Structure 1
Amino acid sequence: MQGVLYVSHGSRVEEARREAIEFMQSVRQRVDVALQEICFLELAEPDIAEGIERLIDRGATRIAVVPVLLLSAGHYYKDIPEEIGRAKARHPQVRFQYGEPLGVQDRIVDILVERIEETKAFRHSDALVLLVGRGGRNPEIPRSIEEIAGKLQAKLAVSKVNTCYLAACPPSFDEGLQEAVKGGKPQVIVVPYLWFTGLLMRSMEKKINSLSTKNQEFILCQYLGNHPAMVDALADRVHETLQVKESRS
């Protein structure tokens, strides 16, 4: 019997966990599979091992493991496959299918445009747009964020979209903000490439709220969240994963 396991990142912030669960429940309604479970990589329960055991206890003989991640990084390449490998050793009779993160998609870039428009701030022709990624040590992360920045620049018809990162990649978020202050643009529109709320969003809000002056306005956009296009994107990944023959991990 087929099962689906959604693997979200996890957060210490209750609101973030609630948002993630509500989002994954929305996707579950779009997937015609009886056995579906939600789990987290860290900072929340159940973890991956428990999620797998729950599905097997309910009768799953095939499990599609779907990473609820925006981009490919360490969690995708290392942490989740290691958990799948341990589960295979415990349950050699169960077949595992492993999906992919959402990756770079035009429909997600369109959400970023919406998030900017939702601020209802007048966008100066020379406004600076600062795209903020979570960051990571895998070189695919900055490459993907730069690709997203290029697509966003084209959709907004602005001269440039700057990029920075909250961790592990240069330039840092603080450096991106400092550069924006020095640049002196009348508007700085900060666009977080984050799925849900959490400590990172709270930290960004605190820093940005202290920066606006009479001559320079800093505007923080909403994160991607439970947008219908995000639900569509993850539901598509689930259906793709169900077609995978077997994980190679």
Structure 2
Amino acid sequence: MTYPLQGVLYVSHGSRVEAAKQEALKFIDLLKHQVDAPLQEGCFLEIAEPNIHTAVEKLAAEGATNIAVVPLLLLDAGHYYKDIPAELNEIKAEYPNLTFTYGKPLGVQDRLVDILAERMKEAKEPIHENARILLVGRGSRNPKTRRDMEEIGERLKAKTNISHLDICFLAALKPSFEQALAQLEKVDSQQVFIVPYLWFTGVLIQSMRKKVDELGERYVFCEYLGHHPFIQEAAVDRVQEALDTKGNL
């Protein structure tokens, strides 16, 4: 009797920055050691290699019959609803015998907000009474993105006891990062924590860091989410959900 072989496909965003690609691949390697599945591959949605098609081709060659597709995305926007499913629909026509399940992005979770609060503490700056937070999201045209970022902001305020928090975006939504910084220049505050809600390094992190370095000491740039154990736990949970789901693509 032939038994089905389960595969897991991790789909990261992709970046032109080699360090970002390596961070994503390292994160996927960390997940592979925590997930009980015989076949596991990582890939990128755009820019970097391997792409989705190449990774599915490899899993199929290794004997996978079921593939749980896990989007390594923070929030559910265009890449989740359109780009990844479009790629998979093309692949399904080429591999009609493969069964796919589609997992969820991480979404809004307290343990991810805990990482943001921890990143602020790691900045090793004493928090002043009139400190502010600028929470920076990637942005998308999906209206849920703003709502999710607002919810994350509210939870971060509660965890840090900092009542003044602004939100800005790096694409698609307003205010932009530059607009938010210009507005903060008019605000009387001794300290502004710049908190990026981004997973890995890349062009966006590099650009933000450069701008903040030019602004002066009252601006404190915090690290991105990275490989923190809490985000590993959250990702492993999403993998398990995808594995437990019957074919849904």
TM over 0.5, shorter chain: yes
- Of 25, 31, 50, the residue aligned with 2:29 is 25
3-state DSSP of counterpart to 2:201: coil
Structure-2 separation of matches of 1:200 and 1:73: 18
Q: CA deviation at 1:84?
A: 1.2
Give the whole-Å Cα distance in 2 for the aligned partners of 1:100 and 1:31.
16
**How far 1:247 sits from its partner (Å)?**
2.1
Q: TM-score, normalised by structure 2?
A: 0.97
1 CA distance for matches of 2:184 and 2:193?
10
Q: Secondary structure at the match of 2:69?
A: strand
User: 1:114 & 1:78 partners in 2: Cα distance?
Assistant: 33
Aligned counterpart, 1:234: 235
Root-mean-square deviation over aligned CA pairs: 0.8
Query: Residue in 1 aligned with 2:40?
Result: 36
1:133 corresponding residue in structure 2? 137
- Is the CA contact (8 Å cut-off) linking 1:7 and 1:66 kept in structure 2? yes
Task: Write out aligned runs for 1:142-153 (5 A).
Answer: 142-153=146-157
Tell me if the contact between 1:61 and 1:94 (Cα under 8 Å) persists in the aligned partners: yes
2:108 matched to 1:104? yes
Give 1:66's match in structure 2, choosing from 49, 66, 70: 70
* Alpha carbons 2:131, 2:164 under 8 Å: kept: no
- For 2:195, the equivalent position in structure 1 comes to 191
Q: Deviations over 1:173-229 (max 9, x none)?
A: 00111111111211011000000000000000111011116xxx1000000000011
**Match of residue 170 from structure 1:** 174
When normalised by structure 1's length, the TM-score is: 0.97
Question: Which residue matches 1:91?
Answer: 95
Give the AA of the match of 2:225: L
CA distance in structure 2 between the partners assigned to 1:119 and 1:189 by the alignment: 9
What fraction of aligned residue pairs are identical, expressed as a percent? Answer: 53
Quote the Cα distance in structure 1 between the aligned partners of 2:188 and 2:31: 43
Q: In the aligned structure 1, how far is the partner of 2:247 from the partner of 2:141?
A: 27
Question: Is structure 2 residue 211 aligned with structure 1 residue 207?
Answer: yes
| 1:76 is aligned to 2:80 | yes
Counterpart CA distance in 2 for 1:63 and 1:131 is: 35
- The answer for unaligned runs of 5 or more in structure 2 is none
Secondary structure of residue in 1 paired with 2:124: coil
Q: Provide Cα deviations, 1:150-186, integer angstroms capped at 9, x if missing partner.
A: 0001111121211000111011000111111111211
Q: Could you tell me whether the CA contact under 8 Å between 1:196 and 1:225 is conserved in 2?
A: yes
Deviation at 1:87, TM superposition (A): 1.4
- Residues in 1 aligned to 2:161 and 2:188: alpha-carbon distance in whole angstroms: 20
CA distance in 1, matches of 2:248, 2:183: 44
3-state SS of paired residue (1:183): coil
Quote the offset at 1:122 in angstroms: 1.2
Question: What is the aligned length?
Answer: 245
Alignment partner, residue 156 of structure 1: 160
Conserved? CA contact 1:128–1:180, under 8 Å? no
AA aligned to 2:239 is V
One-letter amino acid matched to 2:25: I
